[in-house]
Structure 1
Amino acid sequence: KVQIAWLHETFEGQIRELNATSVREIRELKLLHTNSEVERKNSEEKHNKLHNELQWDMLLSAATLGDLGTVTLLLYRSGVQVNYVHPDHSRGETMLFAASNNGHVAVVGFLLECGADVDLFRTDGQTPLFAAAQGEHSKVVERLLAHGASVNLATSDVGLTPLHAASLGGHADVVEMLLSHGAVVSQATTDDGETALLIASDEGHAKVVEKLLAHG
């Protein structure tokens, strides 16, 4: 009886030990599975991030060059959001800004139809409208204004508006468009208080001065 009891106790001890080992192994397996799943997700996230960054670089280049076909194809296939800005991009340019800055009205129109934010500005506060006005891209200015671009938004550095930019360059047609959409003639820069009229006068742009005076 003593021997039987001893065997029984030993057997139960072995069972408990076996069960404990099994539990530990199961926990270890679960932990390994969890770690593996985390590593897999991290790897996927890194891959997706790299993929998106590469696609965005290609999209920005295509928008800059005015390649509507490439912009259309990549935007539909890549999954990159139309207002995406690369976090490492020093100036924070959107595709719409790049297209507007280079006068590509077809690309601008397509991006706006895809939901591009017409007033999304760079890190210095320059909007797509500012860039188009500065570059005398009249058709782009017209398209942006028709889409509701804010005409009096100023840059964050010195407070330049699209009207200041167009006046500085002597772009009379652009100045006329901006004025017809509510550009404020008396709005001054934040660094030296210059108005569009003063800027145009200093630069000798007689036609621009004439238009500005006509609007008060």
Structure 2
Amino acid sequence: MAERKVYGASLSTATMRAVACLYEKDLDFEFVQVDMRAGAHKQEPFISLNPFGQVPAYQEGDATFFESRAISKFIAYKYMDRCTQLLGKSPEESAQVGVWTEVEAHQFDPPASMLLFECHFKPMFMGTPTDEAVVAENEAKLGKVLDVYEARLGKSKYLVGPDFSLADLHHLPVIHVLLKFPRVATLFTSRKHVNAWVKDITSRPAWCKVVQTYNF
């Protein structure tokens, strides 16, 4: 029996967030595919792992976790001294990691995920057209967030400072998919420092392994 198991779906951005963290730490794990098309995430046995019926879930030994950001934090703390240091090298840096992971979850992710839904998931899985008004609204919202990022990244290579951290990692899956849509990709490429940051984090070996392994 594998010591670590990720229960998720290869098309899930949240699942790939957790997997990216495991690869940054060079940890072995078993990936258990959850058939979301068949509604397996809303049924047993998965619902016992996450009562909210959302992927991913993570098991390590006798412990079970859900919510991808919480999973990545657990991995980063438990394996703090292994491979990539993702939590900051001082109390001040660790606090900044906390700040910018909150920014990702509450400022960046809402408009970015809405764009993902409209441009990617609605046409692919629901067969319904993209709502252009919703896209325009959320492009404007995400643009304002990225203006803040542009200023921040003009002062440091990564969101917290000179080193890659969870604050950067948490953005990877959604950015990766959004870059497939030229109109939305312009929000990133048109900002000099944001563009350099995106190129850097999406070229990391651990992230490239996620993309190649799961055809993400």
Please report the TM-score for the alignment, with normalisation by the length of structure 1: 0.26
- Higher radius of gyration, 1 or 2: 1
> Of Structure 1 and Structure 2, which has the larger fraction of its residues in helix?
1
Bigger RCO of structures 1 and 2 (CA < 8 A, at least 6 apart): 2
Please report the TM-score for the alignment, with normalisation by the length of structure 2: 0.26
